[in-house]
Structure formats: C-alpha cells, structure tokens
Amino acid sequence: MEFDINASDGATIITVQAARIDAAVAIRFKDLMQEATDGLDGRIILDLTQVDFIDSSGLGAIVASMKQLQPGQKLELASLNTNVDKVFRLTRMDTVFPIHNDIRTAVSSHAG
C-alpha cells in the first residue's frame, strides 16, 4: 500500500493506492496516515477511488487515523465505491465523516 499526496486549493488530498483496506494492511494504513498527516494543517481529503473493498479492520484504521489527527486538521472522505460506501452506511460512520462523491466536489465544496 502506498499513498499519493497532493495539495489543492487549501486542502491536502491523500490518494490511497491500493484496492483493499483490510485486516492484512490495517496497521500499515494507520502508520502511513500518521506519517502523511504529520505537520499538515486544515482539510485532509482521503481519496478512495482505487479502493474496492474495506472490512471492519480497515474501517477501524480510518477511525483511528481520524482520532490521531492534530489540532487544526480535519479528515474527509471522497470517491467511495458502492461496497465501501455500504460499510460506512451500515456502521453509521457516514454520520461521523464528511463524505464527498468525488475529489472535484470535495475540493470545491469549501473553496473560496
């Protein structure tokens, strides 16, 4: 698993370059998030375009990543496919994270 990190209009976009966030990579995901978000300020948008499967361990790792954020940082999610979106809805985590349909709307939703 690797991340691609880009700054855009005052937000940082972290693109997960993996098809799965599951039990096999949950700890690595959490560590990579800690590393990637260290020192950032403001909105952090997690781009899940490439992710087609997430299990409860992966969901737990995203929640843990949110809990380890520093003051002034905010985690949002974008581009969830049907199966990933379903896990967030069933566990009601869709009420905890701002979720955007895609990166473009995520970035523009707060711009200006």
Partner 1 sequence: MTGSGTLHLTFPSSPLSVRRALQTVVTDLQGFDLEERGTVELVLAEALNNVAEHAYGAGDRGWISLDCTKEPDGLHFRIRDEGRPMPDGVAPMGDPAPLPEALEAMPEGGFGWFLIRDLSRDVCYSRQGDVNELTFRMRIGGAEAGL
CB of 4 to partner 1, least distance (A): 23
- Under the binding rule (CB under 8 A), the answer on residue 1 touching partner 1 is no
Q: Name the residue nearer to partner 1 (CB basis): 57 or 109.
A: 57
3-state SS string over the chain?
A: CEEEEEEECCEEEEEEECCEECCCCHHHHHHHHHHHHCCCCEEEEEECCCCCEECHHHHHHHHHHHHCCCCCEEEEEECCCHHHHHHHHHCCHHHCCCEECCHHHHHHCCCC
Task: Name residues contacting partner 1, limited to 49-108 (CB under 8 A).
Answer: 53, 55-57, 59-61, 63-64, 66-67, 82-83, 86-87, 90-93, 95-96
**What residues line the site for partner 1 (CB under 8 A)?**
20, 22-24, 53, 55-57, 59-61, 63-64, 66-67, 82-83, 86-87, 90-93, 95-96
